[in-house]
Amino acid sequence: MNLQTGFNFMPASRQNLKTIALKQLANVQTRELQTQKIHAKYCINIQLINFAIRSALYTSPYQNIEKPSAQLGQLDHVWRACELGTAGVQTVKTGYKALDNVLPGKGWPCGAMTDVLQAQPGLHEWGLVAPSLAALQLASPSAWVALVGAPHCPFGPALGARQLNMQRLININAATKNNDPGKGPSNGPALLWATQEALQCADVAAVLAWLPDARSAHLRRLQIAALTHHKLLFVFRPLHAQHESSPAPLRLTVAGAAGVTAGSDTPFNLQIHVFKRRGPLLALPVMIDTRPPRLAALLAASRERIHPHVLLPVSRPEQVDMSVILRKPLHALDRTASLQS
């Protein structure tokens, strides 16, 4: 019986044929294993060559640079997060030196939104922004200041005492469901529309908007409008909005406070915590006094009238002759003497 194994033709018995077939199969497997080892070695060599080429390409552009971080620090357009961002920021002075020192650009940013959060609307807004608005009106007498959704009607004499021109101030309120502006729930969409229209007006220099129901998408449109038309924008919202996202580059909370600054004896009535700015986090709040100078002097005079600091003359104690007292019996200690008397 002849068996074709693929290698040779040879007549043999069945046992011999089986042995020859196993040997031929072992030789084939050995040759395949050697081929796989050569192929694996070839692949490893190719990978090492590719790695060397990539290393040479990536490292060659930086061989002449010794300290790249030092060169980056000398560039004006590079901002480090540990420093206040001041490049390309146009600002308006706040009127308070302590507050200017912690804000990027030393003032309120123009062309950007400032998000002011407080527990109750209508308490601290004017004391915070009145000096900057007065400076804007002084620089541009024909400019308007727009109020959108103010919780209370502005009191003219008080704002006039803060050097504000009331004739260049416009108050915009949206009608509620009862058609009574200023009462009932606010008309959020109408207030947003009015704020955006005021930002697009060429004669308006600053916009103050009370938007308690505004969301991040609404604020983003206002931020873009303020940036496009380069306007000063303040948005006043409730305190719980602190935990919501906002596109405003500057966010702060305000609260009433009373006290005296340690070391300088300077009184303050407003506490400001800046929790978002272009720069490092601010650990301590800023204390400022927002009262006008005349009002502060009047309050100081009233405190002097209530608690006058008058130094009274101190009288010298009278001299008492102790011998007279000692000659009398001490009734508290001598019962016999007390009974006789």
Structure tokens at 44: 């490893």
pLDDT in tens, 79-128: 676 677 665 678 999 999 999 999 998 999 999 999 999 998 988 899 99
Q: Is the pLDDT of residue 206 over 80?
A: yes
How far apart CA 264 and CA 158 sit, in angstroms, is: 28
Among the residue ranges 163-177, 202-216, 262-276, the one predicted with the least confidence is 262-276
CB 204 within 8 A of CB 146: yes
Q: What is the mean pLDDT of the chain?
A: 76
Please classify residue 68 by burial: count the beta carbons closer than 10 Å to its beta carbon, then call 0-12 exposed, 13-18 middle and 19+ buried: exposed
Burial of 64 (0-12, 13-18, 19+ CB in 10 A): exposed
How far, in Å, CA of 98 to CA of 173, rounded? Answer: 34
In 3-state terms, what secondary structure has residue 178?
coil
pLDDT at residue 293, rounded to an integer: 73
- The mean pLDDT of 194-205, rounded to a whole number, is 94
Rounded mean pLDDT, 28-45: 58
Instruction: For residue 9, give the 3-state DSSP assignment.
Output: strand
- pLDDT bin (cut points 50, 70, 90) of residue 283 is confident
pLDDT of residue 187: 81
Report the Cα 112 to chain-centroid distance in Å: 14
Q: HSE, CB side, 13 Å, CA atoms: give it for residue 79.
A: 12
Q: What is the DSSP letter of 284?
A: S
Helix, strand or coil, per DSSP, at residue 339: helix
The Cβ of residue 46 has, within 10 Å, a number of other Cβ atoms equal to: 10
110 vs 206: CA distance, rounded Å: 9
Ordered by start, the domain boundaries in the chain are 2-58, 91-303
Short-list 232, 235, 202, CA closest to 220: 235
How far is the C-alpha of 139 from the C-alpha of 151, rounded, in Å? 28
In this predicted structure, the answer to whether residue 8 has a pLDDT above a threshold of 50 is no
The top-level CATH class assigned to 91-303 is: alpha beta
Res. 249 pLDDT band, cuts 50 70 90? very high
- For residues 134 and 24, what is the distance between their CA atoms, to the nearest angstrom? 103
**pTM of the predicted protein model:** 0.65
The 10s digit of each residue's pLDDT in 129-170 is 999 999 999 999 999 999 999 998 888 888 888 889 999 999
Confirm if 161 and 131 have CB atoms less than 8 A apart.
Answer: no
Residue 267's pLDDT band, with cuts at 50, 70 and 90, is confident
Kindly indicate the confidence band of residue 194, based on its pLDDT and cuts at 50, 70 and 90.
Answer: very high
